[in-house]
């Protein structure tokens, strides 16, 4: 922990000495170290600082800069962590906005399965709180894109399929549509078959 504390201190010093045009990378490095310390100690201020530094990194990075997608991903993760602790739907909504902005800025062929699947899961979480059907439909859409973006033999493919099955299951419970139930069962079976094939 002493080394991590020292790393954070040195990174803060480097940030203060860095010209404004080059600050975003240092801001992101600092937010990463603070996030790690928060995960180890549970110190709330570290999460708050990580969120604030990452917001500045996003704001100071041009929209067409490739690193901006990374900053948006980090900010979305931090905001989701704060939502998990506070239950504040604004944080969950903001984390969804970060994910949607990142996906929209990513060429469809380059979309990350993790980025898409995480966004689907966040939308499903909000649906369970608000019962807003559009969130659930969007969750299914993003999860389906995540499956399509995952290579057939990727070790995490079963997780992606299971997430999609969960979204379809929610759809069935909401609407009673047997096609949704069939999709939920089908994707769960595919995930189960895939897990067996890895053994």
pLDDT in tens, the chain (199 residues): 655 665 556 456 655 655 555 677 778 888 888 888 998 988 999 999 999 989 988 998 888 888 899 899 999 999 999 999 999 999 999 999 999 999 998 877 776 888 899 999 999 999 999 999 999 999 999 999 999 999 888 989 999 999 999 999 999 999 999 999 999 999 999 999 988 887 6
Q: Considering the entire predicted model, what is its pTM?
A: 0.85
Residue pair 189/168 in contact by the 8 Å Cβ criterion: no
Contacts 24+ apart (CB under 8 A), 66-74: 67/24, 67/25, 67/28, 68/105, 69/102, 69/105, 69/106, 70/28, 71/24, 71/28, 72/98, 72/99, 72/101, 72/102, 72/105, 73/98, 73/99, 73/102, 73/115, 74/28, 74/31, 74/32, 74/35
For the chain, which domains are there?
1-105 (1.25.40.10), 113-199 (no CATH)
């Amino acid at each position: 922990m002493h080394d991590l504390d020292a790393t954070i201190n040195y990174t803060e010093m480097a940030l203060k000495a860095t010209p404004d045009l080059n600050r975003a990378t240092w801001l992101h490095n600092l937010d990463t170290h603070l996030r790690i310390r928060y995960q180890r100690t549970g110190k709330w201020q570290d999460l708050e600082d990580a969120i604030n530094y990452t917001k500045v990194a996003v704001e100071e990075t041009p929209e067409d800069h490739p690193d901006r997608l990374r900053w948006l991903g980090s900010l979305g993760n931090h905001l989701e962590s704060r939502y998990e602790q506070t239950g504040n739907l604004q944080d969950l909504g903001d984390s969804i906005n970060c994910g949607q902005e990142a996906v929209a800025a990513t060429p469809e062929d380059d979309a990350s399965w993790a980025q898409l699947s995480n966004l689907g899961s966040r939308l499903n979480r909000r649906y369970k709180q608000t019962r807003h059907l559009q969130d659930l439909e969007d969750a299914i859409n993003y999860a389906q894109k995540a499956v399509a973006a995952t290579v057939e033999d990727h070790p995490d493919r079963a997780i992606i399929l299971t997430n999609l099955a969960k979204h379809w299951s929610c759809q069935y419970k909401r609407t009673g549509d047997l096609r949704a139930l069939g999709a939920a069962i089908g994707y769960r079976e595919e995930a189960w078959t895939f897990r067996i094939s890895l053994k």
